[in-house]
Amino acid sequence: MHGEYKVLGGKLVVVDVETADDRLTKVSLSGDFFLEPDDALEMITGAVIGAPVTATSAALGERIADALPEGVSMIGFNPESVGVAIRRALGHATSWHDHIFDVIEPTVLSPAMHVALDEVIMREVAAGTRPPTLRFWDWDSPLVVIGSFQSVRNEVDEEAAQRHGIGVVRRISGGGAMFMEPGNCITYSLVVPTSLVDGLSFERSYEFLDQWVMGALADVGITARYVPINDIVSDQGKIGGAAQKRIVAGAVLHHVTMSYDIDADKMTEVLRIGREKISDKGITSSGKRVDPMRSQTGMTRADIIDAFLAHFRTRYETREAGYSEAEMSAARELVDEKFSTPEWTYRVP
């Protein structure tokens, strides 16, 4: 059985494994990494012989780390990355190219429906009834979408929100508030099986799942980088941020919102910490806008989304998809019974 893992910012780790009686009996390790001294290669492979085939990548990494004496240099990889490659060889972990992704182009819905569809699609991917899915949001009304654990009163000036006709809905993932008016942001949701991030810490999975969008940003002329835990930034400042929600041994919801052209004055009226949120973008006076995607690319929002979709389709195997009536019905039910209720919205007052 063969497995490969490209370390984020590092080298390729390749393993070939054999098993018997649910144990690893033979492991060959190769790759373009650097390792000193040479005989440490046999120490690494010998450390995992006899390990159960159900061992996690962390457990396999611990066996390797414990077996290596002081002075061993692993450059471009580490013990846990060998564990990830072994897990992939055994079929417990998957790579991007093991999947065919459903791609759903922007569909105009209420923001609350998009929040509900995140939960619906996440359940389906976890159950295996829908493949991994990338979908872009488009919405028909203004809304503040707050993180699962945020306080409404701490985040939102509800009097100002009501004055501007802006509602509030709480999503299922953590992270910060999203100030969303039609056309002001670029938002996408990526739902994948947990096997794709097997062996990655919660923090490392953020950068891993947004590797593709760094390439897409480069396509539109933006040199971007990831700043842990969940920010995407360019030399001109923050562009956007990511949030996640996981179903253990099922699926990961990863979504990103990037600022296209936001009314900074309105945002700072509605979001109590809006002024602090935009301070890293150099916005200090009234009448300004938060527009890193528009100003840095000179492109329309629709053209940027098209470029992102083209990049993803070129990079991975995809198929065109949409929302089924069953999914829409389930989402509408969630909006009525959960996302539009005070009990959910104000669960953290």
Sites in the chain below the pLDDT cut of 70:
274-289
CA distance 297 to 295: 6
pLDDT at position 222: 95
| Domains (range + CATH), the chain | 2-89 (3.30.390.50), 96-345 (3.30.930.10)
Contact 13, 4 (CB under 8 A): yes
Helix, strand or coil for residue 125? helix
pLDDT at 290: 79
The pair of structure tokens assigned to 41 is: 């290669």
Under DSSP, the state recorded for 336 is I
Residue 262 CA to residue 134 CA, distance in Å, equals 24
The two tokens of residue 290 are 């938060």
